[in-house]
Amino acid sequence: MKNINKIILGILAVALTIASCENEDKFPLSVHLDDANKAAYVRAVVNQTVYLVEDVPDATFEATIDVPVDNVAQYDLSFTLISGSGDYDTIPLNTITEFPTSISYTYAELTGFLGITTADIGGGDLFQFIGTCIGKDGRFWTASNFTGDVTGQVAQFNGFTFTVLVDCAPITDVETAGTWVANLQDSYGDGWDGAFLTFSIDGSTTAYTISADQGFEAIYDIDVPAGVLEIFYTSGNFEGEHSFSLFSPDGALYGEYGPAPGKCVN
């Protein structure tokens, strides 16, 4: 009986240990509460994180940078543009030593820093912001110092790596109502590896892909009613194998995309 009691107590101890670890995982900042290892951490609250292409020229990037704990001496913010139109340098944007601090730049200013204009911005482009903290103890902190529990959760408003997306624009250059034909292709013949093509009609979405059983190709006739049509692609693995063609309701080839298609059709 004593042995059985020991076994039961042992099982309970293990269960409590696991539960404790899970609770710590659910509170990602708990690792910073130890004074000897407390990280320099900032939060960035951004006014808007998604824009339509046509809204970018008149839009303004605004953010408030604050600290949950008073152990940050300096915060440096840089940014770059991730775009299929080319590669861009990472540009130093601001150095902050007082918290909270609010910053504001028009997107005309941001694109000017990159040597382009807002007219060069297209659907699917991504403004990426990168932050570095210097603690009052002299240590440097970047996104690489933190796990995804901190940098991957929107609720943390982390100031180390965050983005502003330019959303895909609606299709306006052809009559959209009618039957579209989507010809999806995979050069390796094992399906689209998690990728899919989305038709969004007045915000209602349907996704299309190539399954492993379909292999090299899948052709879809897609009936589109009158409304606002957006078509966009979500990437998966082995993007170099993926491509697709679209035919508009008038029967004409609308466009060919890929290998490794971009996010937006328009």
User: Is there a contact between 184 and 209 (Cβ–Cβ < 8 Å)?
Assistant: yes
| Percent of the residues in the chain that have a pLDDT greater than 70, as a whole number | 82
Residue 146 binned pLDDT confidence (cut-offs 50, 70, 90): low
* Of 178, 183, 140, 180, nearest in space to 160 by CA: 140
pLDDT value, residue 183: 98
Give the dihedral sign, CA 195/197/203/206: negative
What is this structure's pTM? 0.66
Residue 35, pLDDT > 90, answer no
* Of 147, 145, 142, 144, nearest in space to 131 by CA: 142
Average pLDDT over residues 98-121: 97
pLDDT value, residue 158: 81
* Of 250, 253, 264, nearest in space to 176 by CA: 250
- Can you tell me whether residue 167 is helix, strand or coil? strand
The CA distances from residue 60 to 114, 148, 164, 214, 229, in Å, are 16, 28, 11, 46, 27
All domains of the chain in start order, with CATH = 43-167 (2.60.40.10), 178-257 (no CATH)
